[in-house]
Structure formats: structure tokens, C-alpha cells
Amino acid sequence: MNKIRFYLLGIVFGIIMTKSEVISWSRIYEMFKFQSFHMYGIIGSAVMLGIAWIQLIKRTKIKSRIGTPIQLTPKQKSVPRYLIGGTIFGLVWAMTGTFPGPMFTLVGNGTLVMLVVILSAIIGTFVYGLLREKLPH
């Protein structure tokens, strides 16, 4: 099974999330208070290098491991959806200090109360699915 690769990558991701302190509530608080460069440095350098990767992929047209062209699905065009959804997400990003990646990593760290947060997030996703047609997109 090729799935083991995803498991290993996940482990690496969890270690990065922990050792970079991205999973720290206070780090997020500090970021929104503009008191430290740490989070900006992480996101900024990840995006800078990410832009380079994607340009490399586009220009060399390298194939993925399974031989298919690498998928870079463009996001659908819209403004309200991203602005409203993004603002809601930002409000709680600052409040809970966590976002989906760290939520799971924190469970591994032994913060089991995060399971409650994850359960709530699943319910939130479900309610979005129910209301989807009625929301501006």
C-alpha cells in the first residue's frame, strides 16, 4: 500500500506543527498583536518557497509519482464566500488559537480536550453542509 507514505508525511507534519510552536494558542495571540515575527516568518517563508515549487511544477510539467500531471485546482471565483467565510474562520482562529492542522496534532500531544473541539468542528462542517444553499457564495 502506498498509504504508508501519507502516514509518514503526516508524522513529519505533526512534528513540524509542534516544534515550530504553531500549535500554541499564545503564539497566535502574539501574531494578531503584532508582537513577534515568528508566525509571519513561518507563513511568509512557506509561501515564498511554495511559489517557487509551484512555478517549478508548472514550467517543467513534472509528473506526480503515479504518473498523472500534478493537480493544481484553481479555486472558484467569488468574493463574498471567501471574505465572509474567511472572517468567520479568522474570528475563531484568534479565539481558539487553533486551526484544523494543530487541532489534530494537539490530540497527539496529550491535550485530549481537543477531541471536544474537533467534534464541534465536525458538527460545524455538517451545519454548513445543511445551510450551504442558503448562504451567499
Partner 1 sequence: MIELISQPWPWYISGPAISIVMFLLLYLGQGFGVSANLRTLCAIGGGGKFSNFFNFDWKAQYWNLIFVVGAISGGFIASYFLTSNHPVQLSTAVLTELEHYGVVNAGTQFLPDELFSFEALLTVRGGIMMVLGGFLVGFGARYAGGCTSGHAISGLSNLQLPSLIAVIGFFIGGLMMTYFILPYLLQLQI
- CB 61 to partner 1: min, Å: 13
Q: Which of residues 74-93 bind partner 1 (CB under 8 A)?
A: 74-79, 81-93
- Single-letter amino acid code for the residue at 30: E
- CB 116 to partner 1: min, Å: 6
Q: Which is nearer to partner 1, 59 or 116 (CB)?
A: 116
- CB 52 to partner 1: min, Å: 8
Binding to partner 1 by residue 73, rule CB under 8 A?
A: yes
Answer yes or no: are the C-beta atoms of 75 and 131 closer than 8 Å.
Answer: no
Q: Would you give the DSSP letter of residue 60?
A: H
Long-range CB contacts for residues 101-108, cutoff 8 Å, separation at least 24: 101/13, 101/17, 101/22, 102/17, 102/22, 102/23, 104/14, 105/13, 105/14, 105/17, 105/18, 105/23, 106/23, 108/14
Q: Which of residues 2-61 bind partner 1 (CB under 8 A)?
A: 2-3, 5-33, 35-51, 53-54, 57
- CB 34 to partner 1: min, Å: 9
Q: Which of residues 101-130 bind partner 1 (CB under 8 A)?
A: 101, 103-114, 116-130
